[in-house]
Amino acid sequence: MKIVVEIDAVFEQLLLQEDTDQDKKITKEDTGPRRFELIDSVKNTQFVVEGTYHLSNLLQELAEMRQQGLVYGEVNFDRIQEPPVERISRKIRESYWDELTRVIDSDGLQKILEDEKTTNTIPTLYVSEKDKQGVTYFSALEKEWGNFKVAILPEKYSMDYVETLNTKPGLLALATSHDEKGIKGVPFVVPGGRFNEMYGWDSYFIGLGLLIDGKLDLAKAIATNFKYQIEYYGKILNANRSYYLTRTQPPLYSSLLRAIVDHEKPDSAWLASHLETIIEEYHSVWMVMGERLTPTGLSRYKADGIGMPFEVEPGHFDEVLEPFAQKYQLPLREFEKKYLERTLVDPELDQYFIHDRSMRESGHDTTNRLINSCANLNSVDINSFLYKYEIDIAYFIATYFEDTFISQNKTYAAQEWLDKAKMRKALMDKYCWNETEGMYFDYDFVHQKSLPFEAASTFFPLWAGLCSQDQAVKLVEKALPKFVMTGGIAGSTAKSIAHINLEDPLRQWDYPFGWAPHQMLLWEGLKNYGFESKLQEMVYRWLWLITTNAVDYNGTIPEKFDLEISSHKVFAEYGNVGTEFDYIAKEGFGWVNASYQCGLSLLAPKWKGYLNQQIHPDYFFYD
Active site residues: 365, 559
Distance CA 271, CA 278 (A): 10
- One-letter amino acid at 264 equals E
451: three-class secondary structure by DSSP: coil
Residue 350 and residue 307 in contact, taking contact as beta carbons nearer than 8 Å: yes
Cβ burial, residue 265 (10 Å; 0-12/13-18/19+): exposed
Nearest in space to 80 (alpha carbons), one of 46, 56, 47, 45: 56
Q: Which of 50, 45, 56 is nearest to 23 (CA)?
A: 56
Residue 256 burial (CB < 10 Å; 0-12/13-18/19+)?
Answer: buried
C-alpha–C-alpha distance, residues 103 and 83, integer Å:
33
Whether 104 and 150 have beta carbons less than 8 Å apart is answered as no
Grouping H, G, I as helix, E, B as strand and the rest as coil, residue 17 is: helix
Instruction: Mention every residue, 6+ apart, whose C-beta is less than 8 A from residue 24.
Output: 15, 582, 583
Q: Which residues pair with 36 in a beta bridge?
A: 49
Per DSSP bridges, beta strands 149-153 and 124-128 are parallel
Q: What is the separation, in whole angstroms, between the first and last Cα of the chain?
A: 45
Beta bridge partners of residue 149, listed in sequence order: 124
Q: What distance in Å separates the CA atoms of residue 543 and residue 593, rounded to the nearest whole number?
A: 11
- Tell me the C-alpha to C-alpha distance, in Å, between residue 282 and each of 47, 261, 312, 361, 392: 62, 20, 29, 16, 12
Alpha-carbon torsion (143, 230, 225, 93), positive or negative: negative
- CA–CA gap between residue 242 and residue 239 (Å, rounded): 9
Residues in CB range of 503: below 8 A, 6 or more apart: none
Residue 132 belongs to what H/E stretch? helix 132-145
In terms of Cβ atoms closer than 10 Å to its own Cβ (0-12, 13-18, 19+), residue 106 is middle
Q: Are strands 377-378 and 46-50 parallel, antiparallel or unpaired?
A: unpaired
What lies within 8 Å, CB to CB, of 510 at 6+ separation is 367, 368, 369, 490, 491, 492, 496, 497
Contact call for residues 573 and 505 (beta carbons, < 8 A): yes
CB 49 within 8 A of CB 38: yes
Specify whether the CB–CB gap between 170 and 151 falls below 8 A: yes
Q: Minimal CA–CA distance to 612: which of 559, 546, 538? A: 546
SS3 readout for 477-540: HHHHHHHEECCEECCECCHHHCCCCCCCCCCCCCCCEEEHHHHHHHHHHHHHCCCHHHHHHHHH
